[in-house]
Amino acid sequence: MPYEYRKMTPAERAAIIAYRRSQGYPLHSPPHPYREGGWYCVSAINYDHAPVIDPAERRTAFEDQMLTTLSAIGELAAWVVLPDHYHILIDIGSLDHLSTALKQLHGTTSRTWNLEDGLTGQRKVWYKFYDRWIRDEPHYYRAFNYIHYNPVKHGYVISPYDWPWSSVMRYVETFDREWLREQWRRCPPPAEGYGDIAHQE
């Protein structure tokens, strides 16, 4: 992320750039090594983690717009929207379709919010998105559980059921809380954070 890069020493920056170059990754953007279709866990963050998706009414409008945009390109299994970032679990035909949809979503919301806040031309709203290709069923449910637990992880609520901007209540209504608890028991998300859900080569 850009703020982490800015904190690095010149030697650390040089090492990161050399590694990215050796892997054929973009030098200053998140790599997207998998391009084929399948399930992906995707994260997008407001630039410098500024809480731009605030207040609550903005989160509600964004959630609706996000679901409309992304449902047109794939099947959404889980999502959560927080004041400064969001996560989704989506089945898509191609990562290129997702890139196009997110470019449209982020471009539209950036313009709208900067106009609302009087910051047109002064504020960068989004950083580039991150994606994790889902390799198997346990990986899928670790991502699923991580997404629903995210508001608790960040201290917004005590229970995931108390955060209205997520898909968790859809599963309560379709199945029940015991079904969700069983998925958690089988495939709990890693305590260390989202990076441990990632597919590592």
Contact predicate 179/171, CB 8 Å: yes
Read off the pTM.
0.79
- Per-residue tens of pLDDT for the chain, all 201 residues: 444 545 667 676 566 555 545 544 444 444 445 557 899 999 999 999 999 999 999 999 999 999 999 999 999 999 999 999 999 999 998 888 899 999 999 999 999 999 999 999 999 999 888 998 998 999 999 999 999 999 999 999 999 999 999 999 999 999 999 999 999 999 998 765 544 333 322
Contact predicate 56/72, CB 8 Å: no
Q: Domain spans of the chain?
A: 1-28, 32-197
User: How do 85-92 and 74-81 pair as beta strands?
Assistant: antiparallel
Please check whether the domain covering 32-197 is classified as CATH 3.30.70.1290.
yes
Q: Which of 129, 146, 175, 163 is nearest to 78 (CA)?
A: 146
- Residue 77 is inside which H or E element, if any? strand 74-81
